[in-house]
Amino acid sequence: MPDDDFDRPRRRPRSDDDDDRPRQRPDDDDDRWDDRPRRPQTNGVATAALVLGVLSLCGAVTAVPAIICGGIGLSRANSRGGSGMGMAIAGLILGVFGLIAVPIMIGLLLPAVQKVRDAAARAKSSNNLKQIALGVHSYHDANNHLPTPYVQPPGDRPAPADPTKRLSWRVSVLPYIEEGSLYNAMKLGEAWDGPTNGPLTQRTVMAFSDPGRLPTQPNNQTPYRAFVGGGALFDEDKPAKKIFEIPDGTSNTILMVEAAQTVPWAQYNELPFDPNGPLPPFGAPQRDTFLVGMADGSVRTVKKSVSPQVLKGAITANGGERLPLDW
């Protein structure tokens, strides 16, 4: 063997123990070699229970689903080492609270909301009566007398023979409550629901409209009606009165009233008055008061429990009754 061969370093046989390169781990050995912290399994039902529970505080509709999801979430949390248990319990508690508390709160709030609505409707009705009374006074200033109970056509033309087809005194007031164009378009000798007047009288006149009208009721209805006959301010058989010819005084005589039954504003359909007979119902059914417009333009709130004799004394224009201050 040549001497040079002795000088060369000899190589050892290569073995796997000497190989420091990373080895590929078998697929089935991942769990044994993976020492990273594992993420807990999520509990989607518990999350849903919490969300529904929070929403149930705004409305009881989601309370039952929150309770159901909370129960399912608790069951899953127990089988998964407690994952999502806090959210499930919170959703369950909020759902029960929403199911019980929200209806109670709504029940407590409804009367308050109804009172606010009644107050708003009463204020609007009072403004309507004042506007109509102002229109009546303006009519009086222009014609030197109050309106007749129903419209008398100009000239020699007669009013419709059927009283229920005649035009109400409210039509005469239209030009004085900013409804002059509507008045000019109507035929005063025609029935209120005739070919020309019918479509016109379906319109809403805001001063005549009922603030408490339900959405199912026609929008041409009015509760503001006058008493006719029996010594009231309006009388078919007597000439129209003048403001200064009211013996009882304008502040003691009713011009119109908030009736319980509404009628089309254009129709002559008033309240027949008999001093010896019963009075019709007044005001909205849910209220214990009603409004009356006095001949001087003021508006009074009257209790439904008022003495019929006191109210009849206020209806008559020449009865000479002395009314109590707090009627």
The DSSP result for 55-99, as a single string, is: HHTT-GGGHHHHHHHHHHHHHHHHHTTTTTHHHHHHHHHHHHHHH
Distance CA 246, CA 248 (A): 6
Q: How many CB atoms lie within 10 A of CB 96?
A: 16
Q: Report which of residues 108 and 31 the model is more confident about.
A: 108
What token pair was written down for 127?
């403004």
Report the mean per-residue pLDDT for the chain: 83
| 122-131: average pLDDT | 96
What token pair was written down for 312?
């009849």
Instruction: Give the model confidence (pLDDT) of 180-200 as tens digits.
Output: 999 999 999 999 999 999 999
Residue 238 has pLDDT above 60, yes or no: yes
Of 27-31, 78-82, 207-211, 258-262, give the lowest mean pLDDT range: 27-31
For residue 114, the model assigns a pLDDT of 75
What token pair was written down for 310?
């006191």
Q: Where are the domains of the chain?
A: 42-119, 145-315
Of 49-53, 86-90, 214-218, give the lowest mean pLDDT range: 49-53
| 138-142: average pLDDT | 98
What token pair was written down for 175?
């030009």
For residue 200, the model assigns a pLDDT of 97
| 135-146: average pLDDT | 97
Quick one: pLDDT band at residue 217, thresholds 50, 70, 90?
confident
What token pair was written down for 1?
């063997």
Percent of the chain with pLDDT over 90: 54
For residue 322, the model assigns a pLDDT of 84
| 114-137: average pLDDT | 92
Q: Which amino acid is at 323?
A: L
Phi first, then psi, for residue 256 (nearest 5°) are -155, 165
Calculate Rg over the CA atoms of the chain. 42
The pTM score is: 0.69
Residue 21 has pLDDT above 60, yes or no: no
